[in-house]
Amino acid sequence: MFSDVSVKAPAKVNIGLKVLKKRADGFHNIESIFQTVDLADELKVHRISKAECNITCAQMRLPLENTLTKTYTAFRNITGIDFGIDVELHKVLPAGGGLGGGSSDGASLLKALSDLAGIPLTHSLADSVAEQVGSDVFFFLHSGFFEKGRGCALVSGRGEIVEPIEPRTDLSFLLIFPGIHSSTAEAYSLVDEAYESGKEVSCPEFMELRRFYYGSVDAWEFANSFTPVLIEKYPLIGQAIHDILECGADWADMSGSGATVFGVFESESCAKQAALECQKKWKCVLVH
């Protein structure tokens, strides 16, 4: 067994995100393609004898209860481990950015705990922990990222139904950070209000997502249910989408419940040129 493990926790983008009406249990079903990109947090995890979870993070102040503490507690309760961990989190992904940073951190910590404990991370164990930590955790655990270094999947249910698909490696993604912190709970509330007032975003049927994904990007019909309601509240998001398209993106939208905006390029040279233009006005990063 190891005493120290380092793991990457990648960002994800949502290529289309249809939010369905609220379920009786308070959750929402979704339909989306999730894909990891090569922008990531890093966790250095050290095994200690005392059964506790200590976290240090130089980049931001974390709440006392967070996805890392929840992951450790769930794993300990399920497996009965008697050791604790010191976690040094190097935070790159913005909170409230729609990139799944907290969920990715939780999934990667679970992988580290599995290695430290010498306990295989079975599908059942992964799901039992993800159930207690957050809906997006399922994707990071089952997308193929830990096996292949890149993950992509059709995601449905409340996020727990993950069907891995082969990720496209020919695409470049230009991420723009508008400087807005979008609350997931608030975003879902705004979508619920839109449903109640008869406003609904037109999205492709779930069975069509795979076909669009592997087709020409400039013909994509993906849409994000959160985008119109968030633009109404935060016009900067709409401006960022406009600017990234003006810079030559083949397609652009917001990721998750916001507020990160991203453009997709089939030409890497066009993506590099667009990044040079966008960085004059926005904080942005080019990834694959």
Report the catalytic residues: 12, 136
Is 98 known as a binding-site position? yes
User: Could you give the CA distance from residue 139 to residue 175 in angstroms, rounded to a whole number?
Assistant: 20
Q: Are 242 and 149 a contacting pair, CB within 8 Å?
A: no
Other Cβ atoms within 10 Å of 27 Cβ, number? 14
16 is in an annotated binding site: no
* 126 assigned to a ligand binding site: no
Q: Which residues, at least 6 apart from 178, have a Cβ–Cβ distance to it below 8 Å?
A: 234, 236, 237, 239, 240, 259, 260, 261, 282
255 is in an annotated binding site: no
- Report the largest interatomic distance among the alpha carbons of the chain, rounded to a whole angstrom: 56
Q: Output the CA angle 274-100-283, nearest 5 degrees.
A: 30
101 annotated ligand binder: yes
Q: Is 99 annotated as a binding residue?
A: yes
Do residues 237 and 180 touch, judged by C-beta distance below 8 A? yes
102 annotated ligand-binding residue? yes
> Is position 151 annotated in a ligand binding site?
no
Q: Which two tokens stand for residue 132?
A: 């207690």
Answer yes or no: is 6 a known binding residue: no
| Dist CA 238 CA 243 (whole Å) | 9
Residue the block writes with tokens 């709440």? 63
Q: Is 96 annotated as a binding residue?
A: yes
Q: Which residues pair with 86 in a beta bridge?
A: 46, 54
The answer on whether 182 is annotated among ligand-binding residues is no
**Binding site listing for ATP:** 94-104
Pick out the residues of the known binding site.
Answer: 94-104
